[in-house]
Structure formats: C-alpha cells, structure tokens
Amino acid sequence: MAAPPAADSRLLVIYASQTGNAMDAAERVGRQAERGGCPAVDVLPMDSFDPSCLLNERFVVFVVSTTGQGDPPDSMKGFWRYLLNKNLGTSWLEGVRYAVFGLGDSGYQKYNFPAKKLDRRLLHLGAEPIIQVGLGDDQHPSGYEGALDHWLLSLWESLNQTTPSLLPRMSDIINPDLNILGDAKVEVIYHSSGEAQQDSYLSDFKNLIDRARSMSPALQFNNNDEEPHYMLQMVSNQRLTKEDTDRDVRHFELENPSSGITYQVGDTLEILPSQNPSAVDSFIERCNLDPDCYITVRAKDRVKISEGSLVNGFIDRIKLKAFVALTMDVASASPRRYFFEVMSYFATAEHEKEKLQYFASPEGRDDLYQYNQKEGRTVLEVLEDFPSVLMPFEWLVQLTPPLKKRAFSISSSPLAKHNQLHLTVSVVSWRTPFNRTRHGLCSSWLARLNPNEENLIPCWLHHGSLPPPRPSIPLILIGPGTGCAPFRAFVAERAAWSTSEPTAPILFFFGCRNQDNDFLYKDFWYAHAHDQGVLSSKKGGGFFVAFSRDQPQKVYVQHRIMEQSQSVWNLLNNEAAIYIAGSSTKMPADVTDALEEVICREGGMSKENASKWLRKLERDGRFHIETWS
C-alpha cells in the first residue's frame, strides 16, 4: 500500500477501473494538472493507496467506474469497506477537499452508483467537495468524455480561484502547447545478444506469461496477474446454436493434461487469449521494431528494480515479440484519446499532424469517437491510417491498451466432472456504423481451436458473484441465453447431491429467441425436469422456457415468472434463494420488476414494500445477480 507524504501543494488522483476507462480518465486529470503547473501530482489505483492515510491529504480527485448492476470495480471494494467503518467520525476528513467523477451507463437502473455513494460518504465523513460529482455516460454520443471535458474545466477553474498556488496556469490547461511532449513514463532496456543467450533457459510458457505481464507497467496494478493457475487443453468444441443462424454459441470442455482442476460452482474462469500472430508481426513491422531482440520494460518512476526482476543475478529480460503478444492488445482494443495526441508529436506529414491534433482537441472529440470507438479501430489500424507516424516503443508500451483476460461463468460441476471444466460462450461479432465486421478476440480464438491439439489455454480461477448454494436451499434461477451457464453447473451439482441425500427443489426460467435455433442445452434441461429429476414438478421444482420470437407477441422470462407466480411465492416462503444471470441491459431490471409484481400479487404487499422485501433478501444473501455486457 502506497502512502506517500502529503503536502498542501500535492494533488492526489485515485482511480478504480475495471476495463481501463477510469484509469485513462485519471491519467488525463494528472496530465492536465501537471500542465497547469501543479507542483506535485500522483495518480494511483485505489487498491494501492492506504485509505487510513486519506485524512492526511488536502486535494483528492476520485475517478471510479461502474460494473455489473451498479457495483464498484474490484479495486474499489477494500477501499470502500474501510470508508464504511463505523469508527470513522463525521469530522474524520475535515480539511480534505475532493472531487468525484464516475463512469457509467444511464441505460442501467443503478447509474453511476459507486461514484454517487462515494461522494455522499466522503461528504458525511467531513470532506469538502470542490465541485459536484461528475457523471460520465456511455450513452452520450462521445461516451464518458462528453461529461469529462466540462467537468474538468469546472474543476480547474474552482481550484484556480480558491488555491492559485496549487494550479497557477489555467491557460496551459485550456490551450496546451502541442509542440511540447514530456518524457514517456516507461523505460525500455535493450540487451545485447550475449545477454540474451544467458536468458535462453527461461522457456516455460506459464513462466513466460508471468514474466511478461509482471514486467508491463500497464498491468502492474492489475489484480491476479500472477502465473496462470492452469494451462488447460480443449477437448470439446461444440456449436449449440443452429449452423445457419447468425448467433454462434459454443460449448467448450477443458481439461488439465497433468492433473485435476479445483473449483466450485459459481466460480469464473479467466482466459488470456492469444492474438493473431500475423497481426503481431504486422504491428512490429509497422513500428520498425526488431521482434527477436531482448528487452526489459519497467516504469521510469521505479526507484530500483522491483523484487522478482532479477533472475540468477541477471536483469529479467524477454523477447520483444513475446512481450507484445502477451501484454499489448494491438489488434482488438481501440486506443485512448491521448494516443492520438502523442501520435501528433511524431507525425512528419503536416496533414496527418493536423488531423491528429484535431482528434485530440475538445472540438474533435465527437469525430474521434465516431472514427475510433464506434468503429472499433485497433491500434494497428490507427497506425496504418497515419503512415508518417513512427512512435518510439516506450510510448507504444505506455499507450497501447493492455491485453486483458476475459472472464466466463463455469457451466459444469466438479462433482459431475471432476477433471473437466465447461464453458458456454457466445462468439462475439458485430457490424460497425460503416458496416465493418468486428470480432471478439477471446471468443473467436476459442471457437477456432481444434480439440485435443497442442493448444494450451492460460487460465485463472476466481470466485464469482454467485455463491454456491447448499443442497438444502430451494432455488429460483433465471438465466436467459448464455446466462444459463452457471445454472447448468448448479443443476448438475444438485443432481449429483441427490444421489446420496435429499435436495431442495429448483425452479429454472430459461429464455431464447427460437426453439429450433438457440435452445441451449435442451436435452440437459428436459432430462432433469422428467420423473424425479431436480427440475421436476414432482420434486416441487420446474423448468419453464420463453421463446421470444416464436409467436407474434414476444415472450420473455419475466412473463414466465408471472405465469408461475404462486410457485415462485411458495418457494420464496420456504427460504428460497434467487439467482439471476445474463445480459446486463434490460433483462435484470425487467426480471426484478416481475419478482416485485409476484410479491405484490401473492403476498398482498404494496410496490414499495415488495421492493423493500427484495432488498432484504439481497442483504440476507438470498438474492444474487451476475451480468455481463
């Protein structure tokens, strides 16, 4: 935990990011403060700052994103728990001035909840807001930056008026000198061929992944970026949807070639995807780099070589091509706005320089959003669009989005498949406004793998947001589409338990578009819904499916819940737990509304009391939601 000595002249920027947007916004706050002459600026991830030291600060900017249904990012949870400590009084943060900017999506019920709650809690603890909380919205035509530009200007104006010694030069923020570029925050050390030969013994792939990603400054604060827990082999790759439909959902079965796999239902599997080797080669060639040279990469502000960067007395090193392939997302993720600003410094063609400076300016924000994010432009594509730009590798390492792991709900039970782990994955593809086809990196890579070939998949296991239920607890499961994945595991686990002890019933509500095209795991559900299966009505459970497009009137899972309101209410009165999984758009809110309606109808409650009743279920650990976009 970092707790640098505070000073009245220091601006501390703390961010909690899940996908990198909050980190990018926080770094922008820091850059603008430095341009404005702020004597000291520190930009830190929230989980690297000791919250007990917050009372020593004088000026703090918080940038926090939203995940799931209004949840805080993982890196914020420990910090938030500390702030909720009842021993912290209402004057604990007296003398601290703060500002909060949130990143969210107004299409969700709990829009920017982490930022709003943080703002209220800081105020309650005695801190003084510099300006009102800022709310970035993904629904804005320019994304979160549509609100960030104006919010930042208000922040600097307020600080300049009240504390000119902290921020003396507003003009440098409003009109930055685009002919002056500071130093990159990343240092790259190139090794001679003799040094490289001494490193040739480090060939294990798991170790290579660990070394590359721990060396990357962009990933150094990411949790769980240690050596992969498992290197799994795909033994089955089965398409679940009809071949001639536009939706491609796959069932993957993974095994550990050397031993078993330790996990429990409700867990998630994180996978580090492999980038297309030709795309990596094209990036290296476009940037005029030597793929075979050996390098050491580290942050410049690192005072000394960090623990673990020495191997048998030698500075740790890695081949440049391996570093790019394992840490830099060159052909999938879109670069951030600052990438275009830095590119402008290295453009030798005047028309390219002007275009890049325009993209980096507030006036060009909307056009950049259309060109870049809406089109899903990759770093490689952007560099190819501006051929006169040759960026130094230090800047590329700093600014290229890091190659991120992708998380999937596990759809198998270790009781049923002790040496296997199953995934249910929708292969992502979409069309951009200019009718370009884009593909999800990880899902498309997995779909291309042939079972039983020598393809080892780097994997990390983590507890998900759906805790495994005891066999004695009745369950109400709602999982349309690939939201059924964790519940396939729940049903398989309960079926295994039922062979040796009595188990509680399960009501499962599944939804898809068409019975013939995308009825995922149809035979599995019906097998457990017949006779004495764990989904059978004879056991007090049931399986109910909604085919949204098989009739003129659309039917969704919430409609099936209403049809079975008495059964739902009966299980709720028998201490049932509710689990919802699936798309994070309208489904969770619509299902929650249907459950409240059931409580109103069957329990004779008002809408307000039904909502309170559900919130109490959540507090009691009997209402869980896991969603993804």
Write the pLDDT tens digit of every residue in 71-128.
898 899 999 999 999 999 999 999 999 999 999 988 777 889 999 999 999 999 999 9
**337 or 7, which is more confident:** 337
pLDDT value at residue 101: 98
Report the DSSP beta bridge partners of residue 12: 42, 60
Band (pLDDT 50/70/90 cuts) for residue 314 is low
Nearest Cα residue to 424 out of 535, 582, 540: 582
Phi-psi domain of 621 (left: phi exceeds 0; alpha: psi -120 through 50; beta: other): left
Helix axes 320-327, 277-286, angle to 10 degrees: 120
Is the model's pLDDT at 198 over the cut of 60?
A: no
Quick: pLDDT tens for 355-377. Answer: 999 999 889 988 999 999 999 99
The hierarchical CATH code for the domain 475-628 is 3.40.50.80
Are the CB atoms for 384 and 393 separated by under 8 Å? Answer: no
State the average pLDDT over residues 474-490: 97
User: Which CATH code, of 3.40.50.360, 3.90.1150.10, 3.40.630.30, 3.10.20.30, is assigned to 10-174?
Assistant: 3.40.50.360
State the pLDDT confidence band at 586, using cuts at 50, 70 and 90. Answer: confident
C-alpha to C-alpha distances, 66 to 115, 118, 391, 613, nearest whole angstrom: 8, 12, 33, 25
The SS3 assignment for 429 reads strand
Report the chain's mean pLDDT, rounded to a whole number.
90
pLDDT band at 2 (very low <50, low <70, confident <90, very high): low
| Residue with token string 């480090």 | 202
The pLDDT of residue 251: 98
Asked, colleague to colleague, whether 10-174 and 475-628 share their fold, the answer is yes
Q: What is the pLDDT of residue 328?
A: 97
Q: Which two tokens stand for residue 555?
A: 């039917």
pLDDT digits (tens, 9 = 90+) for 165-197: 898 888 888 877 766 788 888 999 999 766 654
Type of residue at 267: D
| Binding site feature residues | 17-22, 65-68, 138, 406-409, 440-443, 482, 548-549, 554-558, 590, 628
Q: Looking at the predicted structure, is the pLDDT value of residue 303 above 50?
A: no
Looking at 36-99, list the stretches that DSSP marks H as alpha helix, in order from N- to C-terminal side.
Answer: 74-83
Going by the annotation, the residues of the binding site for NADP(+) are: 482, 548-549, 554-558, 590
**What would the pLDDT profile of 521-547 be if each residue is shown by its tens digit?**
999 999 999 988 999 999 999 999 999
Query: What letter would DSSP give residue 468?
Result: P
> Of 79-93, 161-175, 321-335, 413-427, which gets the smallest average pLDDT?
161-175
Of 22-31, 187-196, 258-267, the range with the lowest mean pLDDT is 187-196
Q: Residue 6 has what pLDDT?
A: 47
The model's pTM is: 0.89
The pLDDT confidence band at residue 199, using thresholds 50, 70 and 90, is very low
- Non-local (6+) Cβ contacts of 64 within 8 A are 15, 16, 22, 46, 72, 73, 76, 100, 101, 102, 103, 114, 115, 118
Binding-site residue ranges for FMN: 17-22, 65-68, 138
Choice between 120 and 2, residue whose per-residue pLDDT is larger: 120
For residue 37, pLDDT over 70 is answered with: yes
Domain edges within the chain: 10-174, 475-628
Count of positions (residues) in the chain: 629
Annotated binding site for FAD: 406-409, 440-443, 628
